[in-house]
Structure formats: C-alpha cells, structure tokens
Amino acid sequence: MSWEAAGAIAETIAALGVVVSLVYLANQARNEARATTVANKLASTRLLTDFIDQLIESPELMDLWMRGRTGATLSEVERYRFANMCLKAFWFFSAMHVQLRMKMLSDEDWAEAHAVLRFWLDGPGVRAWWSNGARSRFGSAFVGFINGEIEKIEATDSVAT
C-alpha cells in the first residue's frame, strides 16, 4: 500500500471521528436543554406552591388575600400585607414572563402560569394594587403585558354589564 492510500484512509477515519464527536455533542446539548427545562419547571412550580402553602397554612392570611383580591376595605397594615403578597406573586409572574420571552418556557407551562395570573388579575383589588403604583417596580415589557391583560379583562367586564 502506498503512502497516499494510507493518508487517504487516515483522513477518512479522522473525518468519521469528527462526525461521531459532533453527533455525541449534539446529543449531550439536547439532553442538557431537556434537563434545564425540567429544572426550570420544578423551580417555578416550587415558587408558586410555596406561596400557596402559606395561604393554606394560615387561615388569617387566606382571609386577607381573599378580601384584598375582591377590593374589600383593608386596614393600613392589611393593605401593606396584601401589597406584599401581590408583589411576591407578581415577581413569580414576571420571572415566568421573562422565561417566555427568552424562549426558555414551553407554551404549555406559560398557559398554566398565565391562567393563574389571570385569576389574580380578575380580582379588582389586585388591579387597584397594580394601578396604584405597583407597576413601577417591574420592567417595561412586563408592565406592558400586564396593562394589556387588564385592558382585556376590563373590556370583557364592560361588555358583560
């Protein structure tokens, strides 16, 4: 066998090794992306369930949330507690919205978060909290999104009445 033939065989083997390496790396990247998606889902679910657990474990806190959400009259201390409850929940919604915009959240996961967000926004007390200055604590993309959601809710409410 000539040196040229041996060189051609060596180049073919090297090219095959590169292809196998690229396939392996692509598979590893795909697995990493799946693991990240699952980790993001678990982390966001934990944030929301931890918050809901607080409501479940404290009847007084649940009562405050229910009254605040409906727009009932609250004492000054209750208003601050309710505002902080809303702030905590909306930080969660804002994080989910960022993940959606960054294409790191599936449509299905966003649909779940969006349904919970809409439930919050259906409460007149939550909308009042938002319009009375809370929106200044969030980024412009999220503020625009929430304002649009509120407009949709209020348009539906005005048609229903």
Q: Is residue 10 part of a domain?
A: no
Q: Is residue 84 part of a domain?
A: yes
In this prediction, residues 73-90 reach a mean pLDDT of: 95
pLDDT exceeds 90 at position 24: no
In this prediction, residues 40-63 reach a mean pLDDT of: 84
Q: Is residue 104 part of a domain?
A: yes
pLDDT exceeds 90 at position 159: no
pLDDT of 161: 61
Residue 13 or residue 38, greater confidence: 13
Query: Which domain does 56 fall in, by range?
Result: 39-160
Own/partner long-range contacts of 125-130 (Cβ < 8 Å, ≥24 apart)? 125/67, 125/68, 125/69, 125/70, 125/71, 125/72, 125/82, 126/68, 126/69, 126/86, 127/153, 127/154, 128/71, 129/68, 129/82, 129/83, 129/86, 130/86, 130/90
pLDDT of 123: 96
Q: Is residue 88 part of a domain?
A: yes
How many structural domains comprise the chain?
A: 1
pLDDT in tens, 131-147: 999 999 999 999 999 99
Q: Is residue 142 part of a domain?
A: yes
pLDDT of 67: 97
pTM of the model: 0.75
